[in-house]
Chain A
Amino acid sequence: MVFSSITFLFAFLPAVLIVYYIAPKKLRNLVLFLFSLVFYAWGEAVYIWLMLASTVVAYVTGLLADRTKRKKDSKLPFFAMLAAVVWNMGLLLFFKYTDFFITTANNAFGTTIKLLGFTLPIGISFYSFQTLSYVIDVYKGDVKSQKNFLTLGAYVALFPQLIAGPIVRYKDVEEQLMQRSETVENFSLGVRRFAVGLGKKVILANNIGALFTLISETDQSEMTVLSAWLAAFAFTFQIYFDFSGYSDMAIGLGKMFGFTFRENFNYPYISDSITEFWRRWHISLSSWFRDYVYIPLGGNRKGKARQCVNIMIVWFLTGFWHGANWNFMIWGVYFGIILLIEKNFTLKGLAKAPKIVRHIYALLLIVIGWGIFAYEDFSLLGQNFANMFGLGGVPLTDRASVFNLLTYLVTFAVLIIASTPYPKKLGNWLENKKPVAFAVCEPVWIALLLIVSTAYLAGNSFNPFLYFRF
């Protein structure tokens, strides 16, 4: 199930809210756990067993990896941790990457090995990382092992973050899992966050996503340079509002049930460098790679050369995590290289350039990055870049592309404004200066967001979800 659906809003959500708040505190984790299982099983019931198996593995290896419970020289915790790594990575490799490796081998060696043809278990990339980080943290002694299976189960399956993150770490929510206070303030914060997220996803991302789909389905004979750039910017906005909208909804829902998740996005498109961009984009993923790959590899403590290698490994893996396809790897390596260049050469020089130059520099590289990300088909990817840079032999503009530009002008303006912190600043300013006016405006604004989003969902419009496949 996804949040941006009528079924979630008017069937699942009312049900879980009512049962959760009627249930005594002791049973609330059980309520969340059971509802989360329904949420997950909706549409693809089989893979629920896989997620439960993963939870059992995390539970057992977590207990065994707890060194405080063992003798000092016991090897058991290490092997338990290793088992968790093997299980989770094995699961990911098997379900996500096997077919990719088979296809690659078939292409390279002319073999005809049959593909497995599994559909990707929803959310596997997210819950594998979460359970793995739990066991590793237990092993490192950062956190105590969880003896109550239900509590751990509620953590893994927790529906707000189950299928598309943010990647919530066990140590961040350990206390909340055992004792949390659902307050009026938190609930109302959650509502606000959820409404904004829903609007970002349904009103903004879907709207601009329709433009990207329209252009990407255009025949090459009708392409123009302008269309190629429109598509690139459309995708840039679509993926941000799609994914950050989903994260907002997750954080908001978490608040409604008394959880506080860490932020996952921090206005990434106002960045002045790629280094800054990756501090603001999908924060829970990049910090996961930092803590569980980069630092264990030695980080920056083993000399400059080793650090560069480590960075490249992390970025190759980050790209690969997004999908079993070459374009995602190229996308990861692309950012790895830019980050290395920035770190070693240009970042200091860049800081002296005027802000507008830095901003255009960063945005251009980000948009090109999404150009790599958007096309899984290599010939399409190449053609797209040829079109963007006038090498595709296509005209600069035509009537259709100018029409699309003008029709989406208002939408682009709204998207640009919504990508900056200014709307939030405006809200904060109003709240401080005119608290009463704000107290009237904000609920009206939230009601508007909810109703218009519902209207889009009821209007059977275009409603894909990009991060569903990761």
Chain B
Amino acid sequence: MKVTKIKNYIVICLFLIFVFGFCFFGILQKDRDFSEMENRTLQKFPEVSYERIKSGEFTKEFETYMSDQVFLKDELVSVKTVTDLAFLKTKQNDVYFGSDGFYLKEFRQNNEQLDKNVGYINTFADKMPEDVKVSFLLAPNAVSVLEDKLPLINDTDDQAAAAKRIEDSLSDKVSFVCPLDDFSKRSDKDELYYHTDHHWTTKGAELGFDALMERMGESVPEADFTIEKLADFYGTMYSQAPYALAESDTIVLPTQNDNEITVSYEEPQGDHTAPKACKETDGVPAKSGLFADELRAVKDKYATFMGGNFTRLRINSEGAEKDESVLIVKDSYCNSMMPYFCTKYKDITVCDLRYFGMNTEAVSRLVEERGIKKVILVYNIDFINSDNSFVWLE
């Protein structure tokens, strides 16, 4: 009887601590603008007015505010991920929890989008003058290279089939390479992809560059690099299903010795603003070096390469092997390849079609204006399978 009584008090205290504790500390703690862990902006305390209360806007935003700014938010999100894992849900928000701490993004082949995008590439390539060579590096994703790390129960499609479909329908004008097989056979393949991010590592990017050079019939220049490392990197896939036990990644930033590199942000619209170190010359922000220093400390550290993705950049690499102008059309996988491209070509124009608009100068005009003889496409399979910005190639 006595035990029951004590237990009643324990249960009540526990509940009151729970309700009042979260309430009290929630009020006490400072509101955050942004969740690094989930990689999204959080709701601030909503504006109060009679009109907003009447229309229900206030209450709606207040509910979002309460759950966004709840005390111990990051820890709670972690608890949710772990609970889902306890229910053996190895797929959360389209990301699989693979073995050895790899997050692997599910791939669902979308033939309609694939065929459309390849069509745009073909039209573009076929319109190019005879003497312009078009090459295409298709980067495989971790989910296929590290297939053996997927959970036993999974519902992801085979990227080899998607790569084959692309290769088969590409115009003869395009030299195509997809290093999926080579990557899968490597004994160090674990080092080619980040555990918590959807990109390939600098090592993966280097191997991708090597494969591209081989396909283009060119040599890979000998170059010395100074290596810098960025630890504690939690990438985009971690944000999909964050939990405290996940292991962080390290980003390798290679800087070529004895090379002067200048990056001009010609069309600086994109997912970031042009790096802080930029100085304007003739109205174009430009800086030396490939990395954006202010992004080393933020969560999305991968953006340190080039400072993110921009409509158009122009890179001048003084110490490059060849005094040649090339044009690269790419997604973010290409950003970590730039140190290697800079060893090879002196004048590199880099376009990201995602940020193109009606007023952006067309890629084909650039080729003409800048006397470009080599156009290189760099895309990862997941991207070409889902993105709809290829239309800007035309």
User: Residues on A close to B: CB < 8 A?
Assistant: 5-7, 9-11, 13-14, 17, 42-45, 184-185, 187-188, 191-192, 194-195, 203, 207, 399-400, 403, 406-407, 409-411, 414, 435-436, 438-439, 442-443, 446-447, 450-452, 454-461
Contacts and interface: CB of A to CB of B under 8 A. Distances in A.
Given A435-B4, A458-B73, A43 B79 contact: no
Given A403-B154, A459-B80, A460-B67, 13 more contacts: A5-B66, A6-B70, A10-B26, A184-B12, A188-B11, A411-B89, A414-B87, A435-B4, A436-B3, A438-B7, A439-B6, A442-B11, A456-B83
B19 A9 contact: yes
Interface of B: 3-12, 14-16, 18-20, 22-23, 26, 53-54, 56, 59-60, 62-63, 66-67, 70-71, 73, 76-81, 83, 87-91, 153-155
Contacts of A411: 87, 89
Given A446-B11, A454-B22, A461-B80, A7 B87 contact: no
B19 A399 contact: no
A32 to B, nearest CB: 17
Contact of B14 (A42, A410, A446): A446
A192 B12 CA distance: 9
Q: Which of A13, A400, A455 has the most CB of B within 10 A?
A: A455
Contacts of B79: 451-452, 455
Contacts of B54: 45
A11 B180 CA distance: 53
Nearest to A404: B155
B7 A443 contact: yes
Contacts of B53: 45
Contacts of A446: 11, 14-15
B34 to A, nearest CB: 15
A455 B80 contact: yes
B155 A403 contact: yes
A410 to B, nearest CB: 5
A447 B14 contact: yes
A5 B6 contact: no
Given A13-B19, A458-B76, A6 B83 contact: no
Contacts of A13: 19
A7 B63 contact: yes
A203 to B, nearest CB: 7
Contacts of A195: 15
A17 B4 contact: no
B77 A185 contact: no
7 smallest A-B Cβ distances: which pairs? A455-B79, A459-B80, A188-B8, A403-B155, A458-B76, A455-B80, A439-B7
A403 B303 CA distance: 35
Contacts of A406: 153
A191 B91 CA distance: 33
B67 A457 contact: yes
Given A435-B4, A450-B15, A454-B22, A459 B155 contact: no
Given A11-B23, A458-B67, A203 B62 contact: no
Contacts of B154: 403
A458 B11 contact: no
A191 B81 CA distance: 26
Contact of A9 (B8, B22, B88): B22
- The interface centre, meaning the residue of A399, A411, A459, A461 with most chain B CB atoms within 10 A of its CB, is A459
B2 to A, nearest CB: 9
A354 B368 CA distance: 84
18 contacts: A6-B70, A10-B70, A14-B19, A45-B54, A184-B9, A185-B8, A188-B7, A188-B9, A403-B154, A407-B88, A407-B90, A410-B87, A435-B3, A435-B4, A439-B3, A439-B10, A443-B10, A452-B80
B43 to A, nearest CB: 11
A13 B78 CA distance: 25
